[in-house]
Amino acid sequence: MESNESDAELAFYSAMSLLGLVDYSLDFAYKKYASMRARVEVHGKTIEARVSEGFRAAPQDAVMGLALNLLERVFHKNANAEYYARAYKSFIKRQSTAELDKSMRRKRTRTMNPAGKVYDLTEILANVKANYPPVFGDTTVVGIGWSQRLGRRVLGIHDEAHNIIAINSRLDDERVPRFFMEYLVYHELLHAKHGAKYERGASMQRRVHTKEFRDDEKRFAYLAEAEHWIKTRWPPR
Ligand SMILES: [Zn+2]
């Protein structure tokens, strides 16, 4: 688990001091809202701020913009901090693009079938989990299947919205070795285990492979072979 909670709290304190709200105290908490929301209420000399979990991935400047936006409205003040307002707006814009992409993935995964012409993904998934009990423990996914709709260069994805693994159907091909299919399922299952982490400040779509993720990946028996194969043998000519 990673937490930037103190950073967001700090952003609210900075916004408060920028607006001259120096004699207020702050009661800050993240909330599991279904969408990107945030609210501020004033109770006596306490400012209560509740912010959607989704803002954990936001850059500091964007959270600062959010804090200013909320406080300016409640206190009818204006910090004239255009820079932070822009950072906030651009984060929200990226976020809604990411949401849109997620809902498209949702549609895409609905039609997936795990049994291919060459490989049965359900069987490969069961095998991978059985071969690496210390890595996966009780990590589980709701489903796995072949997808015809992944981009040419995307081999597989773990859709965290529905905890489903989708594998590019172009790989259901006898020229693709079994160890590579196992590697791919192993890799996507690690995403289910470690959760989605995104680079702060960068595109919301860029997945991060943490050190813990990489360490787990090194426990796969044919990692070197899989990495070599993808570099030299794919796509097939
Ligand atoms: Zn990955």
Give the model's pLDDT for residue 198.
59
Task: Tell me what the mean pLDDT of segment 57-79 comes to.
Answer: 90
How far, in Å, from the CA of 209 to the mean position of ligand 1?
6
Confidence bin at 1 (pLDDT 50/70/90): very low
How far, in Å, from the CA of 106 to the mean position of ligand 1?
19
- How many angstroms separate the CA atoms of 174 and 68, rounded? 57
pLDDT exceeds cutoff 70 at 58: yes
Fold match between domain 5-99 and domain 111-232:
yes
Give the model's pLDDT for residue 102.
66
Whether complex ipTM tops 0.95: yes
Contacts of 183 (CB under 8 A, 6+ apart): 220, 222, 223, 226
Fold observed for domain 111-232? Zincin-like (3.30.2010)
How far, in Å, from the CA of 187 to the mean position of ligand 1?
6
How far, in Å, from the CA of 29 to the mean position of ligand 1?
31
Tokens of 97: 């693009």
In CATH, the architecture of 5-99 is: 2-Layer Sandwich (3.30)
Confidence bin at 204 (pLDDT 50/70/90): very low
At residue 105, φ and ψ (nearest 5 deg) are -60, -35
Tokens of 24: 């207020």
Confidence bin at 100 (pLDDT 50/70/90): low
pLDDT exceeds cutoff 80 at 16: yes
- How many angstroms separate the CA atoms of 92 and 228, rounded? 39
Sign of CA dihedral 50, 56, 57, 63: positive
Highest mean pLDDT among 152-156, 194-198, 224-228: 224-228
Give the model's pLDDT for residue 223.
97
How far, in Å, from the CA of 199 to the mean position of ligand 1?
13
How far, in Å, from the CA of 224 to the mean position of ligand 1?
16
- How many angstroms separate the CA atoms of 91 and 97, rounded? 10
User: Please, what is the average pLDDT of the chain?
Assistant: 85
pLDDT exceeds cutoff 90 at 209: no
Helix axes of 223-232 and 178-194: crossing angle, nearest 10 degrees = 110
How far, in Å, from the CA of 188 to the mean position of ligand 1?
6
pLDDT exceeds cutoff 60 at 105: no
Percentage of the chain beyond pLDDT 70 is 86
pLDDT exceeds cutoff 70 at 203: no
How far, in Å, from the CA of 191 to the mean position of ligand 1?
7
How far, in Å, from the CA of 93 to the mean position of ligand 1?
24
Q: pLDDT tens-digit profile of 114-163?
A: 999 999 999 999 999 999 999 999 899 989 999 988 877 889 999 888 88
pLDDT exceeds cutoff 80 at 34: no
- What residue spans define the domains of the chain? 5-99, 111-232
pLDDT exceeds cutoff 80 at 29: yes
Range list of β-strands (E), 137-209: 143-147, 156-159, 164-168
